[in-house]
Amino acid sequence: MNRKEEIQTQWDRMAQRYQDFVGGEFSYSRMIELPAAAAILEDLSGLQVLDAGCGSGHSTFFLESLNPKSLLGIDLSPEMIALAEREKAQRSSLAQFQVGDCETLESVPTQSVDVIFSSTMTHYFTSLTPFFNACNRVLKLYGRLVISVIHPVYSAQYPLEISPEQLPADEEWTVRYLDRRTRGYLQPWIEYTAGEKIKTTSFHHTYSDYFSALSNAGFQLTELVEPEPPPAFQDRFPERYEAYRAIPTFALLGMVKAIG
């Protein structure tokens, strides 16, 4: 099984649990990530938008609320896309979904997209270069790319991959910022959902990795946002509030295609 097949299998197995968690009233995505993304993206009226790594459609339906002309969600996991399609029917959404490789975006025509949004997907790539190059290809000149990434300080603490079968111990969660070896860990939100323990494989990228890859791919960075947890977390979940402020989960990068 190659790397992409492994990640696809992992997310097929976690799909329903992820949808249940991320759609919760107090999920980090709903309370922290997407409000920050909305402030960067603003109104998408008249624009053709791509959600790369759309998962079960949580971010796609958020993008639809910003009034794009057209909206396509792509994800590697067939189970995730199946969940997105079911949610689409319930919402009478006009979004389109397809199973595809977001690292290459090979199914998307060249210079056909005005805006690409991607939520917490880049840490599944061994290298950022193919993805940023693919985004440059499908975006129109001066098109926008907005990515929400697992904050590099957060992904730096993911435990190192020991073996395909072995689960990491809690004490293995320690920051190794310049160590780019493969990580193998239990998603923290798995603890909040009932079911089997499923280990995730991913990769840690530093801020310099992001800046070098986006610059080499012809993008100009316009915004870097490290969103704070909302006051509601401080009142209702004080421990989660302080933990997030100590090691934040998200960083958002806004870019414009300047060369291509």
Low-confidence winner among 7-16, 183-192, 198-207 (lowest mean pLDDT): 183-192
Model pLDDT, residue 137: 98
In a domain, 8, yes or no: yes
Establish if 200 belongs to a structural domain: no
Is position 172 within any domain?
A: no
User: Looking up tokens 């079968």, which residue turns up?
Assistant: 165
Q: Rounded to the nearest 10 degrees, how much is the dihedral formed by the CA atoms of 201, 187, 74, 22?
A: 180
pLDDT on residue 188: 82
pLDDT of residue 2: 87
**pLDDT greater than 90 at residue 196:** no
CATH code of 251's domain: 3.40.50.150
The full 3-state SS of 112-125, as one line of letters, equals CEEEEEEECCHHHC
| Within-domain flag for 187 | no
Assign 121 a pLDDT band (cuts: 50, 70, 90): very high
Structural domain span for residue 44: 3-152+206-257
Residue 179, domain member (yes or no) = no
Q: How many domains does the chain have?
A: 1
Angle formed at CA 218 by CA 58 and CA 104, multiple of 5 degrees: 50
Q: pLDDT tens digit string along 29-61?
A: 999 999 999 999 999 999 999 999 999 999 999
Tens-place pLDDT, residues 80-117: 999 999 999 999 999 999 999 999 999 999 999 999 99
Residue 221: inside a domain, yes or no?
Answer: yes
31 in a structural domain = yes
Q: Report yes or no on 252 lying in a domain.
A: yes
- Which range is least confidently modeled, 150-159, 212-221, 227-236? 227-236
